[in-house]
Amino acid sequence: MRLRENRKLLFIGDSVTDCDRAKPEGEGLFQALGTGYVSIVDAFLQATYPELGIRVVNKGISGNTVRDLKARWGEDVISQNPDWLSIMIGINDVWRQFDSPFIKERHVYIDEYEETLTQLVKETKQQVEEIVLMTPYYIETNENDLMRNKMDQYGKVVESVAQKEDCLFIDTQAAFNQVQENLYAAAIAWDRVHPNATGHTILAKAFLNKVGFDWTK
């Protein structure tokens, strides 16, 4: 596995990452990591690789866009001094364009999204061992659905930034698409965004597979 001994792994993002984690520090006992994919990743790491002592921290905040991440980056990422950093952001950047179409100051259009994500990665990549970039997603099989189509465009930006900045890349949309061959969207997320336990397990598996988790260990 790519994660090595005594590494600090920090996850940052929006509500999908947050999942009612403890504030201000999403770390420790009593579901401090929240109830989502971050806690599942941590549980698998502790159960399978206890000897590595990997420290997991959750810095997701519900409703965040990449603009919000930029505003809190110094405190919630740089000052935390992680060894590994996982970023999943973009759902609200897209969603606000659809559920709040007339409140344009809340919209983060794709040029700003790409510029800001690139800036954050460039600012941080020399301070960490690895950055993992996870795409935003919309749990909808119809690629012509307006929000799904827009989300795919933002996902392509994430892939491009990962390639240019030599980051690990996770296509979460592809992970959900595979499961949707047998499960309807509502069986994974009632609003096609906020996953149930099945959906969060899909995200956790995608992350663990990318870091070389040994499922036979």
100 counts as catalytic: no
Catalytic residue among 15, 39, 42, 76: 15
Task: Say if CB 189 and CB 139 are below 8 A apart.
Answer: yes
How are strands ordered across the β-sheet holding 8-13? 55-58, 8-13, 84-88, 130-134, 168-170
Q: How far apart are the first and last CA of the chain?
A: 11
Are the CB atoms for 5 and 52 separated by under 8 Å? yes
Annotated catalytic, 15? Answer: yes
Give per-residue burial for 136-173: e unless 16+ CB within 10 Å, then b.
Answer: bbbbbeeeeeebbebbbebbebbeebbeeeebbbbbbb
Distance of CA 124 to the CA centre of its chain: 16
Catalytic residue among 99, 100, 166, 191: 191
User: Where on the phi/psi map is residue 34: left (φ > 0), alpha (ψ -120 to 50), or beta?
Assistant: left
Q: Which of 42, 107, 194, 200 is catalytic?
A: 194
Residue 160: which residues within 8 A CB-CB, separation 6 or more?
114
Q: Is 124 in contact with 85 (CB distance < 8 Å)?
A: yes
Residues labelled as active-site residues: 15, 191, 194
